[in-house]
Copies of this chain bind each other. A is one copy, B any other.
């Protein structure tokens, strides 16, 4: 486990408001780590809606399979998360382990198995000894409410160097509702699906189908717009719980996407998701730079996003950023290899505010000194205008450093 916190870590954490109906407890079950919490039990009150997005990996983990089969019902009572073992590629043993995990929790809480959601993160291929949850479940039940949001976020960390939380509040019917989220992730982070683990809670009353639509809509511009290393996990899971406890304050349930309050909710949810997604990039394994990549002038938004990801995932672009080298030729390379419509001779590229290339060649006013100054910043914007159409996209990534290689050369040992 890393011993030093990422230099890109948030300097402070927000005050997380209480979400009525949500309670946490954490425990040390000794799944893999010693001397730290590795299990989180979140309970949610009766009537809680749930929505989820999951990895599109063909080798998805047993807990992902479990959640996907149950999230359609839209009802939840508890979430059990462990770190240290992903319960992925564990065959029949993995299926048995999720079933046992759910039974342990449902037995303790007195609810149905189908309302228990599960997530696991850590090593792939190692059988998960779910019986360890039985050792701690009574304590977890007794301690419900004893852990705060940071404690919860800490219990699900693996190679993360800091816990990740975010919050937003919105006014509905003249009353405030909150959206709180936690997340983990630092490596095996790639877009094109719901990435890593994140759990988001709101006290608003939102029907399951509306909740799912909101979550799916906001995933594209947040979790699916970040990449650390282009490698997509077997375990990626985002779950969004709506307890509906705000109803006691006279806030009417959101029952349809036509509800005029949906836009406000969606924007706030999106902000929380984007905040958490950025925190994952800022904790990217070995990261020293946070890079925003804006592509505009593409033939479509989809095309812009593919090009942006081609830049964000390029080892040569990422190592140039690590070396503080204003090597815009590698950005050209990454645009060219994306396979999307591009006209070399219309391309323009900026590092920060400095235009380094225009009309298919180096900017006539190019200053190596000015471009290099941008690269020395901690947060760097790389902007590309393709000059073809109105398509645009923004994605975020980090640099590729020797520390990434070091961390991943001996993660298991």
Is A210 an interface residue when CB atoms closer than 8 A count as contact? no
Q: A332: which of B125, B343, B347, B408 is its contact (CB, 8 Å)?
A: B125
Q: A126: which of B229, B314, B362, B405 is its contact (CB, 8 Å)?
A: B362
Say whether B230 contacts A60, CB under 8 Å. no
Judged by DSSP, the binding face of A is: loop
Q: List the B side residues contacting A362 at CB < 8 Å.
A: 89-90, 125-127
Measured in the bound complex, the distance between the Cα atoms of B413 and A329 in whole Å is: 14
Given pairs A89-B360, A126-B329, A188-B316, 13 additional interface contacts (CB within 8 A)? A55-B336, A58-B336, A59-B336, A89-B347, A89-B361, A91-B361, A93-B361, A187-B316, A229-B316, A231-B337, A320-B408, A325-B413, A405-B405
A85 to chain B, nearest CB (A): 11
Say whether B408 contacts A88, CB under 8 Å. no
Say whether A408 contacts B91, CB under 8 Å. no
Say whether A344 contacts B60, CB under 8 Å. yes
Q: List the number of copies, as a whole number.
A: 2
Measured in the bound complex, the distance between the Cα atoms of B89 and A335 in whole Å is: 11
Q: Contact residues of A with B, CB < 8 Å?
A: 55-60, 86, 88-94, 123-127, 187-188, 190, 229-234, 313-316, 319-320, 322-323, 325, 327-330, 332-345, 347, 357, 359-362, 400-402, 404-406, 408-413
Say whether B337 contacts A57, CB under 8 Å. yes
Measured in the bound complex, the distance between the Cα atoms of B232 and A359 in whole Å is: 22
Measured in the bound complex, the distance between the Cα atoms of B60 and A152 in whole Å is: 50
A410 to chain B, nearest CB (A): 5
Measured in the bound complex, the distance between the Cα atoms of B125 and A88 in whole Å is: 45
In the complex, what residue of chain B is closest to A361 when comparing beta carbons? Answer: B91
Q: Which of A86, A341, A347, A411 has the most C-beta atoms of chain B within 10 angstroms of its own C-beta?
A: A411
Q: List the B side residues contacting A55 at CB < 8 Å.
A: 336
Measured in the bound complex, the distance between the Cα atoms of B407 and A322 in whole Å is: 11
Q: A333: which of B90, B233, B330 is its contact (CB, 8 Å)?
A: B233
Measured in the bound complex, the distance between the Cα atoms of B357 and A405 in whole Å is: 25
Q: List the B side residues contacting A347 at CB < 8 Å.
A: 59, 89
Q: List the B side residues contacting A408 at CB < 8 Å.
A: 315-316, 319-320, 323
Say whether A335 contacts B409, CB under 8 Å. no
A314 to chain B, nearest CB (A): 5
A179 to chain B, nearest CB (A): 30
Say whether B333 contacts A124, CB under 8 Å. yes
Q: List the B side residues contacting A315 at CB < 8 Å.
A: 229-231, 315, 400, 404, 408
A194 to chain B, nearest CB (A): 13
A91 to chain B, nearest CB (A): 3
Q: A336: which of B229, B234, B322 is its contact (CB, 8 Å)?
A: B234
